[in-house]
Each structure stands twice: as C-alpha cells, then as structure tokens.
Chain A
Amino acid sequence: RKEVEQDPGPFNVPEGATVAFNCTYSNSASQSFFWYRQDCRKEPKLLMSVYSSGNEDGRFTAQLNRASQYISLLIRDSKLSDSATYLCVVNAAGGGNKLTFGTGTQLKVEL
C-alpha cells in the first residue's frame, strides 16, 4: 500500500462547480498534512495546510479525519485558473522534516 494515495483523475468540471478531492495516508503517526498545487511544468507550491479542526481559505476548504486517515480538499465556485494538479502531502513516518507526496489529482476546469 502506498503511504499517500490519491485518485489521479482527471476531474473535468465546468466553471463554477464544486469539486472535492480525497487522499488517504497509511501511517497513523503522521502529524502534518498539506495540499500543494502543481501547475504544468512548474514546481509544487503550498496551497494550504490541513489542521485537525479543518480550515478554510476563500473558496478552498481542507479537512482531516484522523480516525479514517484521510484528508480532503473542497474547491467551491471553480475557476479556469484552478486547473492544476493537487498534491496531498504528509510528513513522513516518525516525524522530522521528510514529506511524502501523493501522486496528485489532476483538475481541469472548463468553460
């Protein structure tokens, strides 16, 4: 089983739609969780951290379910500019600074 698993997509949605991505992680000792965005041929950039209480940043909402070991990202009112690959990232087993990346979920927002 992969340490971090995501549905690779692609998710093709119309502009204005709401879309949700899930990610599961295998190590229950993981402490920190993130969503990164990677545009085509670009480096990944942090979209948002995921807190136990859930957090929201504008149209983006991230949630963590420790019992089920999954993380979610909800994007409301999708924009064309949201088209990208979204990477689920978890700090490696045992803590420290190592990050484990999911394979990413590709989102395409269309007119």
Chain B
Amino acid sequence: SAVISQKPSRDICQRGTSLTIQCQVDSQVTMMFWYRQQPGQSLTLIATANQGSEATYESGFVIDKFPISRPNLTFSTLTVSNMSPEDSSIYLCSVQGGVTEAFFGQGTRLTVV
C-alpha cells in the first residue's frame, strides 16, 4: 500500500491566478498520476508524471495550463495556471502498483471565483 499526503485540501482562488498542488508519497514510485473530478463526474486523467522526464498529458490537457514537476520518486506537483471558473474541480494525485490497486491523495477541492 501507499500513503499519499496531498495539499492543500481546498482553496478558493481568484480567476487569472495559479495554484500549485503538492503530493508526497511515503515510498518511492516510478509513476504518479494526476486526475480531475468535476462536480458530479468521474475521474479524468490529466497526465502521468515520471521522475526525470516530462509528464505525458492526455487529450484535452496541455503543459502550459497544467505544468507538472516530478523532482524525485516520492514527490510531485501540479499547477493549475491562469485559472477560470471552469477549473473549479477536485484534483487528485495517485500512484499504482502496476495495473493493480490505485492509491489516491485526499484531493484538493478548488473553487475559482
């Protein structure tokens, strides 16, 4: 199993600003995943973050909007840039053991006003 500490747990931000979300894992992992869960929706994968290389973004998500850092095997950040109200969502980081169980951080509930 893995324990993931994600922060902040929630934030209210002004449009046009940026927010950086941090995830710390209690063990070394090769890949970390960032998801978005919009109200009433399921989880949508934003990108996969590998240590030592650029993140791989899913269709509809771009690096300029969601820059990701992965400085080591236990830590990653996701920045939501130039925010608009449409970015209001829950953002979750995740790690997996191969194709088996996925473990999630507690989520960051973002409201953009």
Contact = CB atoms under 8 A, between A and B. Distances in A.
A43 to B, nearest CB: 4
Contacts, number: 48
Contacts of B44: 101
How many chain B residues sit at the interface, stated as a range, is 20 to 34
A54 interface: no
How many chain A residues sit at the interface, stated as a range, is 20 to 34
Contact of A102 (B42, B100, B102, B104): B42
A83 to B, nearest CB: 17
Interface in B76-92: 92
A45 interface: yes
Would you call the interface of chain B mostly helix, strand, loop, or mixed? Answer: strand
Which of B44, B96, B104, B105: most chain A Cβ within 10 A?
Answer: B104
19 contacts: A31-B99, A32-B99, A34-B101, A36-B102, A42-B106, A42-B107, A43-B105, A44-B102, A46-B101, A46-B102, A87-B43, A89-B102, A96-B99, A97-B98, A98-B48, A100-B45, A101-B43, A103-B41, A103-B42
